[in-house]
Amino acid sequence: MIWLPLAGFAIGFVIYWLPIKNLPSSFAPYLSLATLAGLDSVFGGIRAGVEGKFHDDIFISGFVMNTLLAAGLAYLGDQIGVDIYLAAVFVLGWRVFLNLSLIRRYWLTQTSMNRKKES
Amino acid sequence: MSSDRGKTWVFQVTALCVILGALLALSLRTQRQAANEGVPSRLPALRAAFSAMKQENIQLRKELADYKQRYEDIARQQAAGLTSTKSLEQTLNESKMLAGTVAVRGSGIVVTLHDSPKLDPTETRSDVIENYVVHDTDLRAIVDELFASGAEAISINEQRLIANSSVRCVGPVVLVNSVQVAPPYVIKAIGKQDVLDKALTLPGGVADALFLLDMIEVTKQRDLLVPAYAGSTRFSVAQPVISAKNKDNTRREK
């Protein structure tokens, strides 16, 4: 089951790797930030899923809003000369690692419980 | 983990993972493209450093002119105090005019050089465009011709040409005395007007091609002011040799 998101990821990657149309390179920092926000949402969703607290509306709206907000705020920061970019990287990165560690912990306790059941 | 509830969120996560993958790929591609175009994030910093340095340069040049003025004043005061100064001062003034450390005025010609208006704006071949813009070689050729025709003082865009002046190009700009000058290039030459004018307008002369492309204008002027050389004139290696005897003396002193 864990392969499904990974496969989706690979498909999306391949779709956009096809040479379509290049964006102006000044978009690069905002796109990276949007990617980071997307990463955060997906891991947050997985975490909510494994904890059994998953809500599809929160998940999807979170993904869209976080992605747009991260890029938009970074752009605004660039316009007014404040590095909001750094704050976004810090917060999003921190949450990605937090979510990852929680997912890992959950799966570790699951597998150990399953082993106990089997034995 | 393997409950029914688990299935629904996995599909949704998968759907968004597709978008995330696309986003990541797009981001990577744009990032790589940005790297190919040079590092744009460093450009503003470089630009700031460049303009700061330029500002400092201007400031320093002003200071230098100030110090030079003060030096001149002191020298003049000292000279006034001496008795047999008349001929000395005259020699000094002539030397200064020759060295280019004083501004001079007199009649002469003004040569204005600019890029050719005959260039087709849709032209993209750089080797063709080259023929329609003013090069450092054009400036050198004209200046040499003017000096050879008896010009006594020449400046290019207010940069006085002296014994160790240089006219060269670095990239897209022309440097005269290591100072950037931009078109239109205004060459002021003090000397016999008719001789200087003929030297440039001569058929088959150095400026022939420039006239053909409307890149040059020559006007005679009654009263021209050619500024003094503004840079440093310190000698650190060369030593004056006045006569053989003198040379021996300086050697012995060392």
Question: Closest approach of chain A CAs to the CA of B212, in angstroms?
Answer: 43
**Predicted confidence (pLDDT) at residue A61 exceeds the cutoff of 80:** yes
Q: Report the C-alpha gap between B178 and B181 in whole angstroms.
A: 9
Asked if A35 lies within 8 A of B8 by C-beta distance, the reply is: no
Q: Supply the pLDDT for residue B186.
A: 93
pLDDT at residue B72 in the model: 87
Per the structure, the complete domain to which residue A32 belongs is given by 28-118
Domain ranges of chain B: 103-226
Is A15 inside any structural domain? no
Structure tokens at A112: 């150990």
Size of interface A-B (CB pairs under 8 A): 130
Q: How far is A36 from chain B (nearest CA, A)?
A: 9
CATH for B103-226, options being 3.30.70.1880, 3.40.50.150, 3.40.50.1980, 3.40.140.10:
3.30.70.1880
- Which residue in the set A16, A54, A67 is minimally distant from B9, CB to CB? A54
Q: How confident is the model at residue A22 (pLDDT cuts 50, 70, 90)?
A: low
Are residues A38 and B20, on separate chains, in Cβ contact within 8 Å? Answer: yes
The verdict on residue A105 lying in a domain is yes
pLDDT for residue B56? 93
- Cβ contacts (< 8 Å) between A59 and chain B: which residues? 9, 12-13, 16
Q: What is the mean pLDDT of chain A?
A: 82
pLDDT, position B1: 43
Predicted pLDDT at B15 = 81
Residue where the block lists tokens 């494994």 = A50
- Do B23 and A31 make contact, defined as CB atoms within 8 angstroms? yes
- Is residue A17 within 8 Å of residue B23, measured between CB atoms? no
In angstroms, the CA A44 to CA A97 distance is 10
Beta-carbon contacts of A53 under 8 Å, excluding residues fewer than 6 positions away, are none
Is A73 inside any structural domain?
yes
Answer yes or no: is A14 within a domain: no
Q: How far is A65 from A35, CA to CA, in rounded Å?
A: 12
3-state secondary structure chain B: CCCHHHHHHHHHHHHHHHHHHHHHHHHHHHHHHHHHCCCHHHHHHHHHHHHHHHHHHHHHHHHHHHHHHHHHHHHHHHHHHCCCHHHHHHHHHHHHHHHCCCCEEEEEEEEEECCCCCCCCCCCCHHHHHHHCCCHHHHHHHHHHHHHCCCCEEEECCEECCCCCCEEEECCEEEECCEEECCCEEEEEECCHHHHHHHHHCCCCCCHHHHHCCCEEEEEEEEEEECCCCCCCCCCCCCCCCCHHHHHHHHHHC
- For residue B175, what are the contacts with CB-CB under 8 A and spacing of at least 6? B166, B167, B168, B169, B181
CA distance A25 to B18: 23
pLDDT for B253 equals 46
* Number of structural domains in chain A: 1
10-residue mean pLDDT series, chain B (254 residues): 58 82 81 68 80 92 91 81 69 84 91 86 80 87 91 91 87 84 90 90 84 88 90 81 58 46
Q: Is residue A80 in a domain?
A: yes
Is residue A20 included in any domain, yes or no? Answer: no
Interface contact flag, B15 A4, Cβ < 8 Å: no
Contact yes or no for B27 and A11 at CB 8 A? no
Strands B185-190, B153-156: pairing kind: antiparallel
